[in-house]
Structure 1
Amino acid sequence: MPASAAEQLLDHYDCHARSLPWRSMPGDAPPEPYHVWLSEVMLQQTTVATVKPRFRRFIERWPTVEALAAAPDEEVLHEWAGLGYYARARNLIACARTVAARGDFPRTESELRKLPGLGDYTAAAVAAIAFGERAIVVDTNVARVIARVYGLRKPLAEARKEIRELADRMTPDRRPGDFAQAMMDLGATICRPRNPGCGNCPLASGCMARDSGTPESFPAPKAKPERPKRYGVAWWFERDGAIWLTRRPERGMLGGMAALPGPEWNLDRLPTPSLALVSHGFTHFTLDLGVIHRFGTPDGEGWWQPLERIGEAGLPTLYRRAVEEVIARKDDLAA
């Protein structure tokens, strides 16, 4: 692809850049490194529409990385509830404290990569967008754009090395942060997985996928293996309008998050009867969780959470849905 393609893309970005709360618009001073880093962590496996209000809430509550570093783990995990992939929240806390201890974010991709939880992509994004370093920024949207422009048919997971080399060839020395965000925007708004808007694409004239007449067929979809199913139970202890909640172990699924008590999810089948049953998909397996009414005094550490204030408990999606399902069934029976 000619070098002018980068300029064409930047010209398009100057006119059509998305306005996002963590972003500086073209021509403005670079955004705060803290904002770039926080947004990139939140956006992993999560949509922009979901992240925007949650990002604003985080920034209002913890306006600096030092403020976030000083926050108790439980408060950060509570605020993260519902965003999923909770290992990100634990890495967020560890990284904030590392940055606060050293005084600021490092400015280079290589040094950023040493921070807790920062992989190649996040380190490159922060280096390019916040510090103007020429870095190769490739997320899923960018990878799809490159695969289509260069006509790569193989699934993205099989073309990572080739895509990175092509991205390196495309990335200009001038305005690398804007170029990275322009590529992200292009993949998110025009070069979509389905129904790509080739007629509005600034790279259309040199795109091999467009020339083929079937741009959606690039890249080939990844074969999805069937996820195994697991079964688990959660105990429902209730008294005086409150239920007993505990905190998940720090290591493992939903680590450190508020939860209904219960054993690990390793049953062969679900016991019956149950107050409610919820199904939830994790990355590597699906879970059927039954909620079982228990009497007596709960064991271990925890707290009684009033049901009228259950929204303040910071429950992750799995347990929030379980509680909502039990409440809904109780309301149906009372009607």
Structure 2
Amino acid sequence: MSEHRERTTDTGEPPDRADRVDSATEAFVAHRNLLFTVAYEMLGSAADAEDVLQETWLRWVGVELDTVRDQRAYLVRIVTRQALDRLRALRRRKESYVGPWLPEPLLTAPDVADDVELAESVSMAMLLVLETLTPTERAVFVLREVFDLEYGEIAEAVDKTPAAVRQIAHRARAHVAARRPRGAVSAADTRDALQAFQRAIETGDLQSLLDILAPDVVALSDGGGIKHALPRPILGAAKVVRLLATGWYKRGTGMSVEPVQINGGPALLVRLDGELDGVLAVRVENGRVTGLYHVRNPEKLSRIERETTVTR
């Protein structure tokens, strides 16, 4: 009597199992950039977003794809639930974070700035506003306002009723509207302001620096307890000029700056003696610099040397 053996592929898996994995992989890869963007906007951390994507993949590969009507919506639901779990854990971790916390900066492609809503949603300023929401409010706001999901889809992702999601969305919108940056600025104005700011930094021209800063400019920095950083925000042009002239970076210290796009907006990469020392993201409104977000924590600079794709 011959022995029955199950046919396998080169990987040692049964053909139907291998086919399912291939189909799952194809769908996951097709939506990966979107899923990363959802997770990053909810968490403000690329490293944690990548962990969430790994967890999402492990759950997705076990799903019977024949039962899934909309693969994109299903994947977004998985990644949202995983990100919510991670966000709640992150909140506890941030309570013990040394010094002020800023989002992990991403080097983004120039075309991100062309999508004004996407660029604003991943900006350092907006991510800091989103930090003031509850985890569920943040998830609902991101999925509705940034990715334009229907209330029913969001309800499935956050385990709420559609009616409850509508109320949460209304509350989150009002909260964000009261705190969000005042509005978009043209690409030309942004470019001109960054160039003027860079020249003032490089030349040490304090008057030019004062001219390009808005009177109510705010500066924040994040060293994570590893690098020196501001213990609290600095508010006002005169104080920020003094900080830039005598505190953060001084001329003659081997400093060089390079204009880049960080989180869809203008920024400078700062190097000391050729070594990356930090990222200085710049918020521009009405042709003047209104916000400076200085990330020096080396654990948050690992993605600065390569471009990260964010998309809707």
TM-score by length of 1: 0.29
Greater share of strand: 2
Which structure's residues are more often helix, by fraction? 2
